[in-house]
Structure 1
Amino acid sequence: MHLAGLIEALLPQSCLLCSSRQGGILGLCGGCLHDMPWHRDNICPQCALPSKDNLLCGQCLQAPPAFDATRSLFQYQFPLSSMLQQYKYGQLFTLARTMGLLFAAHTGLSLSADCMIPMPLHRQRLQERGFNQSAEIAKVISKQLHLPIRLEACHRIKPTPPQASLPYKQRIKNMQGAFECINDLTGQRVILLDDVMTTGASLNALAKTVKAAGARHVECWVVARTVSE
């Protein structure tokens, strides 16, 4: 038995939700993992909003976003919503490993990408929070899937207020000119990784920037998708 397995056997991890000693490598017991708000409904393949028969939704048909596809593990509902809040603002760092491993398990078999870029934080926000929550999850996925991660490829050059409290049109306006890409991504298939997708304004702005740098296909991976306002 290797060292990590030995430590886990001797000191079993508690479940993050029910505190049982059956958390395992994910930090979630089987029952709690089953009861999570998995995003399994019929969804639009481009934006991951509910859509009959998994067809493109009307919004993506009328005003296609810059990204080509979206994969979401969960719907942004309790208890996942509370867990992500604790991760970002309460420094529940173990959740980065949990979500990274789940992503690797659920998407690795169909992986087709050249690199992954986590959603950048503006330097002021990074200084305040102390870490980039998307980057920490991306590091786990990168290690599991042997997928190159480009932490410095894109930068958020415009500080923006928290998007969650703003109406859709204001979110779009705030994100105009928010990012720059300093890498040549010509012909590459790029995954953008973020923790939560609400309207998609931030990811759309980043996707536009990445495509302007030459990317030919951009896919969004998000831990959770808000399916209703």
Structure 2
Amino acid sequence: MKLWLAASLPNRCLMCHQSVMLPESGICSVCLSAGIYQASVCLGCGCTLVTQSRYCGSCLKQEPLMIVAPCSYHQGLGPWVAAIKYRAQFAALPVLTKALVNRVQELEHLGLLKLPQVLIPVPLHVDRLKQRGFNQAWIITQALSQQLDIPFSTSGLNRVLDTQPQAGLTGKQRRRNLANAFELEQDFPYQRIALIDDVVTTGTTAKEIASLFEKRHVHVQVWCLARAEAPGLLD
């Protein structure tokens, strides 16, 4: 796995084209620092906070699903996150997963996050997996598991419907599209999980899956390489 990723890394930063030291990064430290969050953000809606806490005032009232990401999809690093899924270009994956690991460890140090017992990648339907050839969430999960020494599992949660892509759908269409798309097996031995994906946009997929776990009293948090916040939240 490491050799495969290293072979795909360029010897110049993907963003500024300055030389980088292989195999550590496909994005230089300067561009990475500019692309990750520059301020504290709410783990619910993603809005900017003065100081880091779990939720903003609005989210604190309802305690929504916790979403952990190192950066916004809209601010610099988004194209390289998209390239993983849509073009099978993995050059930025090591540095982006490391940025997510750093974010997780920061929140744990602040007492805002408790590490999960297991990492669960968002599954693809078997037909979509055959068509694409890989599941980017699996690849991200494997990297996180190695760096954080947390086991991962690809069993227990299954995608039973091959739904149409979520991109371009309205919120209502997304919810309808994913209704009953996932299934959780009866024998699931964990009480605290992190659900892993590349990007969280409206959160429809994450919420649909989390509802299955929460019915079993399993605590769910979501980890992703980037989140696409609603317009204006980071202003």
TM-score between the two structures when normalised by the length of structure 2: 0.80
Distance 1:33 1:42, change over 3 A: closer
Q: What is residue 150 of structure 1 aligned with on the other side?
A: 153
Match of 1:75, SS? coil
Alignment correspondent of 1:82: 79
Shift of 1:51: 5.6
Gaps of 5+ in 2: 109-113
CA distance in 1, matches of 2:26, 2:33: 13
Kindly provide the amino acid, as one letter, of the partner of residue 194 in structure 1: D
Following superposition, the deviation at residue 78 of structure 1 comes to 4.8
- 2:136 corresponds in structure 1 to 133
SS of the counterpart of 1:73?
coil
State the number of aligned residues. 216
**Shift in Å, 1:43:** 3.1
Tell me how large the CA RMSD over aligned residues is: 2.7
Q: 2:10–2:91: 8 Å Cα contact kept in structure 1?
A: no
Fraction of identical pairs, as percent: 29
What are the Cα deviations for residues 187-229 of structure 1, in whole angstroms up to 9, with x where unaligned?
61100111111110000001111223441x1111111111125
Q: CA deviation at 1:95?
A: 2.8
Residue in structure 1 matched with residue 223 of structure 2 by the alignment: 221
Check if 1:107 corresponds to 2:111: no
For residues 30 and 41 of structure 2, what CA distance do their matches in structure 1 show?
Answer: 25
Structure 1, unaligned stretches of length 5 or more? none
Point out the more displaced range, 157-166 or 18-27: 18-27
* Deviation of the 1:61 alpha carbon: 3.9
1:1-229 superposed matches below 5 A? 13-24=11-22, 25-36=24-35, 38-45=36-43, 47-50=44-47, 54=53, 55-56=55-56, 58=58, 61=61, 65=64, 67=65, 69-108=66-105, 110=108, 112-182=115-185, 184-185=187-188, 188-215=191-218, 217-228=219-230
Instruction: Encode CA deviations 1:147-187: one digit per residue, 9 max, x unaligned.
Output: 01011221111121111200011111112111112263456
Aligned AA for 1:176? Answer: A
Counterpart of 1:94 in 2: which secondary structure?
Answer: coil
